[in-house]
Amino acid sequence: MKLYAQQGYGEGEKIFQGLHEGIINGAILSPRDLKPDVAAAKIAKYKAANPEADLLIDPQFYATFAGSSEMARVGKLPEWSHFTSERKSELEITANVEAILHRTLEQIISLPVTSVITPNIYISRSFDSREAVIAKNFIRQARSVYQRFGDNRPLFVTLAVCREALLERGDFEEFLNDITMLAEPPEGFYVLIGSRGTEVRTDIFHADVIAGWMLMNHSLSINGFQIINGFSDLLTPFLLAAGGTAGASGWFANLRTFSLDRFQPTQGMARQPILRYLSAALLNRVTFTEKDALSGMVPEVLNGLPHDVDYDPEPDRTSEALQAWEALQRLNNTLGAGDIEENMTGCNLEISRAEALYSEIAGLGFGLDRKSGSDHLEPLREGIHVFKKMTGLD
DNA sequence: GTAGTGCCCAAGATTAGAAC
DNA sequence: GTTCTAATCTTGGGCACTAC
């Protein structure tokens, strides 16, 4: 049951502190926000904080099509030798896919990462598409290209796909079957489920998307693969309960939900987000002022974990990230500790508990901010129900 | 008429890295 | 080590529209 930091812009001391305190088990670094030499220095610093930490680099090749626009916000990605803007038609040629895999792996393995993530494109429509064929080719070639380097660190293959693709059940299950029967399999997959935008919460908190993502973790794990879920945030404990190995979350919304919007041009200014407190009991974040007000009326909202004391009344950004990781780690340990049936029962109990707490808060006449509300609970409950049906557990 | 919903628009703070 | 500059990060109010 592992939790990683999803690294990105504005890191400060968050990851170092999280590793040093043993709150997180590792980090997934973002080349968009780091130069290659800085990445090497950071990995050394993380290892000093925690020698056991899992440290990976997400090659972010899925931004290749977005990167062709001059306005694209690809940050420092062009400074990495593996990253180039490619046309889809060029990627239909196997030799080109091999060349991209080769130069990416060459760069990644030159750094002291503990596992290696291979590049892939983003499947933006369905598993029955030209992009899916290209993505499958990246997955098939990954191991054989990696073997040429003679490196023995675990290999994870990127599978980046839009949430819509999970809704077309037939194509999705066929794709899963294909990648579980690879001739030269990797140790695992680095799974990213894309939303239209980080603000469209219902894109990911949708019963069929949750069920599909859980099914992906379940199917791949029973076939012997490890699954690292990127940008999984509050879904992490549910994905691990279904068989996943690790999940990841960061400090800004765009590090908690995967979206290619992150690479698109913006209008410029964005406010700093409101400081929030992740309540394990509510399975959600509330604003720090709501947490302050609720702590007297409904003390069950509080986690009772060490970083709670930083909210007196207002934490700094580092403490906010550490508090969220700490709460997620508790949920991971609560919901993912047993076999699949026990875990699903535990997930439903946790949701019922959250529903009861929300009812208590509503009974007190306390109005919550829109994002702090209970809208996430119904899709979670329904998602688990659909997942159980799909896997024959129901 | 009122409440709810969705879209549009304008509003600094924080961090990283370069320059000194 | 300090200062400066550039890059990056959503929120909340106002308004229009719709349902009741």
Q: How many CA atoms lie within 13 A of A82 on its CB side?
A: 29
Q: What is the pLDDT of residue A283?
A: 93
Number of CB atoms found within 10 A of residue A85's CB: 15
Answer yes or no: is A207 CB < 7 A from strand C: no
Nucleotide nearest to A10 (CA to C1'): B15
Shortest CA to C1' contact from A371: nucleotide: C11
Give the domain A2-263 fold. TIM Barrel (3.20.20)
Strand C proximal residues, A:29-48, Cβ < 7 Å = 33
Q: Is the minimum distance from the CB of A252 to strand C below 7 Å?
A: yes
User: Residue A129's pLDDT is what?
Assistant: 94
Domain spans of chain A? Answer: 2-263, 276-391
pLDDT of A371 reads 82
- Over range A62-81, report the average pLDDT: 82
C1' (C12) to CA (A257) span, angstroms:
22
Rounded to whole angstroms, the distance from the CA of residue A216 to the C1' of nucleotide C16 is: 42
Between CA A322 and C1' C4 the distance (Å) reads 30
pLDDT of residue A97: 96
As a whole number, mean pLDDT of residues A228-239 equals 95
> In the predicted model, is pLDDT for residue A367 greater than 80?
no
Site of tokens 């109005």 = A367
Calculate what percentage of chain A has a pLDDT beyond 70: 98
Higher pLDDT, A378 or A106: A106
Helix (H, G, I), strand (E, B) or coil at A313: coil
pLDDT at A274: 85
CA of A268 to C1' of B8 (A): 15
The pLDDT of residue A200 is: 65
Torsional sign, CA A174, A176, A177, A181: positive
Say what the pLDDT of residue A236 is. Answer: 95
pTM over 0.85: yes
Q: Is the pLDDT reported for residue A141 higher than 80? A: yes
The bases of strand C with some atom under 7 A from any protein CB are 7-12
Q: Is the pLDDT of residue A394 over 80?
A: no
What nucleotides of chain B have any atom within 7 angstroms of a protein Cβ? 10-17
The whole-chain average pLDDT of chain A stands at 91
Q: Which residue has the tokens 């626009």?
A: A69
Residue A153 approaches strand C within 7 Å at CB: no
Provide mean pLDDT across the span A345-353. Answer: 95
CB-based contact A53:A47 (threshold 8 Å): yes
Helices assigned H by DSSP within A73-168: 94-109, 130-147
For A193-233, write each residue's pLDDT tens digit.
Answer: 988 766 666 778 889 999 999 999 999 999 999 999 999 99
CB-strand contact A367/C, under 7 Å: no
- Tell me the pLDDT tens digit for each residue of A25-68: 999 999 999 888 888 888 988 998 999 999 999 999 999 887 77
**What is the model's pLDDT at position A201?**
67
Which pLDDT does position A94 carry in this prediction?
94
Calpha distance A179→A132 (Å, rounded): 12
pLDDT value at position A297?
A: 87
Tell me how crowded residue A269 is: count the other CB atoms within 10 A of its CB: 5
What pLDDT, on a 0 to 100 scale, did the predictor assign at position A75?
Answer: 87
